[in-house]
């Protein structure tokens, strides 16, 4: 990796003055690291170069790229954070300081590890750009894992799979999540990885590429006739996600059919819907597999139209339709989202709701163990969005119940709920909700309060806390009735 490659990548969206600063940061870091080498034997400066390149790929802002180049300087050289602050300013120094703190996370007994993770989540909640640098740093370290002892390889891979990859997904940075997961899969399950890689890469992809090219040609011809500028490519699912599906559904590789999709990239929002109409005019759609994430984006901001059609020979085929901006946001998540907001002159610092949830958990947790448990339970689950009859969207963990939904609306709604209508049909309060469900909560103002048995199925911390809170208050009131004068 060279600084010229980093500059070429950053030049796609950074101006000349910013490029000059990137070169300055490289010279600064290169001078500080000098002849230091990594375990692989290569010069240490290669690591910050790769980190900065990955950050430029996901359209990170200038201070983040500069911090990526400088992130190991204070810890591994005689150059100090104050030197960085004096040369590059407070913002860059703040990011370098944040990533320096995160680099101290080491497995030294479970309690210290939990405390380190707690600090990581809090640093992330303070400034999400810190975790972007950590992702880039971690991804390059994963790519060079082969020089480490096997035990360390597995520890780093397991930590990445449990912590970093889910956070990347929550931030919508799928390009980094997929890469991290596949590398971790390779080190944690080497035999399964080799078998699947052979079946998928050698046997299946050759056959699918011909099929994809056939469909691409048919759709491209029709879009051109309608004068819709476009780009179409085939997207293959990643090995780890295929293996996960095999495990979850107890299926063999040959029984997994949705291993690819065609992406149709167009220029404008209206063109997305025109392209959808054209595809549906060519092949019959499967309406049970249609999702409009443009009209209703996912909680992490993901936007795209997904439709599955019965293609040639009746083969189910998924199309994903989006604009170029939506495509980059789908790959690079919140980083690309900020980039486009800055181009429009908007505020790039809007924090996702789940990050605010981390801060709430931190305020209420009594120990690092409880904090990490709550974060894993509430934050790392797959997120779904559920609607009220008025169209308001509520972001919940996967398989949340109507009771969780009721408490997300208001404590009184949760305490007084007696039943629910899901998509117009009466349903039990323990029914798992699915993405896109419309839920109406039926309440009874005469109801005394929540049922303690609900704790057996609720998924959110808010619902659990409110039910327990009511139970404690109810017990206290009962005691007061029997002990006059007790306050």
Mind telling me the catalytic residues? Answer: 75-76
Cβ proximity of 228 and 276 under 8 Å: no
Instruction: Specify the DSSP element, H or E, that contains 375.
Output: helix 368-378
Pick from 55, 75, 18, 59: nearest CA to 132: 55
**Rounded CA gap, 411 and 70, in Å?**
47
CA-to-CA distance for 426 and 257, rounded, in angstroms?
Answer: 34
Give the full edge-to-edge strand order of the sheet including 439-443. 425-427, 417-422, 439-443
Q: What is the dihedral of CA 432, 434, 437, 443, to 10 degrees?
A: 20
Q: For residue 100, give every residue at least 6 positions away whose Cβ sits within 8 Å of its Cβ, in sequence order, or none.
A: 71, 74, 75, 81
Contact 362, 375 (CB under 8 A): no
Give the chain's end-to-end CA distance (angstroms, integer). 70
CA–CA dist 430, 406 (Å, integer): 12
Please give the Cα distance from 299 to 358 (Å, whole number): 16
CA–CA separation, 138 and 150 (whole Å): 17
What is the C-alpha separation between 195 and 242, in angstroms, rounded?
A: 12
Query: Does residue 235 sit in helix, strand or coil?
Result: strand
Q: Where are the alpha helices (DSSP H) in 395-440?
A: 402-409, 411-416
Nearest to 371 by CA among 383, 381, 358, 382: 358
Rg (the chain; Cα; Å): 25
């Amino acid at each position: 990796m060279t600084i010229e490659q980093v500059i070429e990548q950053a030049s796609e969206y950074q101006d000349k003055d910013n490029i000059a600063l990137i070169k300055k940061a490289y010279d600064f870091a290169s001078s500080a690291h000098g002849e230091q080498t990594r375990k692989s034997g290569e010069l240490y400066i290669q690591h910050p170069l790769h980190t900065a390149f990955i950050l430029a790929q996901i359209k990170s802002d200038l201070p983040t790229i500069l911090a990526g180049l400088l992130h190991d300087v204070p810890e591994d050289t005689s150059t100090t954070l104050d030197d960085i602050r004096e040369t590059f300013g407070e913002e860059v120094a703040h990011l370098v300081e944040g990533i320096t703190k995160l680099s101290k996370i080491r497995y030294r007994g479970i309690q210290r590890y939990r405390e380190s993770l707690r600090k990581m989540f809090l640093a992330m909640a303070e400034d999400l750009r810190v975790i972007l640098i950590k992702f880039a740093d971690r991804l390059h370290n994963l790519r060079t894992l082969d020089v480490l002892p096997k035990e360390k390889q597995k520890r780093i891979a397991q930590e990445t799979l449990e912590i970093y990859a889910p956070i990347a997904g929550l931030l919508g940075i799928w390009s980094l999540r997929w890469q991290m997961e596949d590398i971790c899969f390779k080190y944690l399950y080497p035999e399964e990885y080799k078998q699947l890689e052979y079946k998928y890469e050698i046997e299946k992809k050759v056959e699918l590429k011909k099929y994809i090219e056939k469909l691409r040609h048919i759709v491209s011809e029709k879009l051109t006739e309608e004068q819709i500028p476009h780009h179409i490519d085939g997207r293959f699912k990643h090995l780890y996600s295929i293996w996960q599906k095999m495990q979850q559904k107890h299926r063999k590789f040959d029984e997994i059919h949705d291993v690819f999709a065609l992406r149709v990239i167009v220029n404008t929002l209206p063109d997305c819907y025109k392209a959808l109409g054209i595809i549906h005019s060519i092949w019959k759609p499967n309406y049970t597999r249609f999702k409009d994430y443009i009209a209703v984006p996912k909680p992490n901001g993901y936007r795209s139209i997904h439709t599955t059609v019965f293609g040639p020979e009746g083969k189910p085929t998924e199309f994903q339709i989006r604009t170029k901006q939506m495509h980059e946001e789908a790959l690079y998540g919140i980083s690309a989202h900020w980039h486009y907001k800055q181009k429009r002159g908007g505020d790039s610092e809007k924090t996702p709701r789940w990050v605010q949830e981390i801060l709430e958990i931190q305020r209420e947790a009594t120990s690092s163990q409880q904090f990490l448990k709550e974060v894993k339970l509430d934050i790392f689950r797959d997120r779904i969005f559920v609607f009220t009859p008025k169209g308001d969207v509520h972001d919940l963990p996967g398989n949340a119940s109507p009771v969780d939904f009721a408490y997300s609306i208001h404590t009184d709604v949760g305490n007084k709920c007696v039943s629910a209508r899901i998509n117009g049909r009466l349903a039990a309060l323990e029914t798992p909700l699915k993405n896109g469900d419309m839920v109406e909560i039926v309440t009874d103002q005469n109801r005394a309060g929540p049922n303690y048995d609900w704790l057996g199925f609720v998924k959110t911390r808010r619902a659990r806390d409110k039910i327990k809170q009511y139970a404690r208050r109810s017990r206290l009131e009962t005691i007061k009735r029997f002990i006059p004068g007790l306050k």
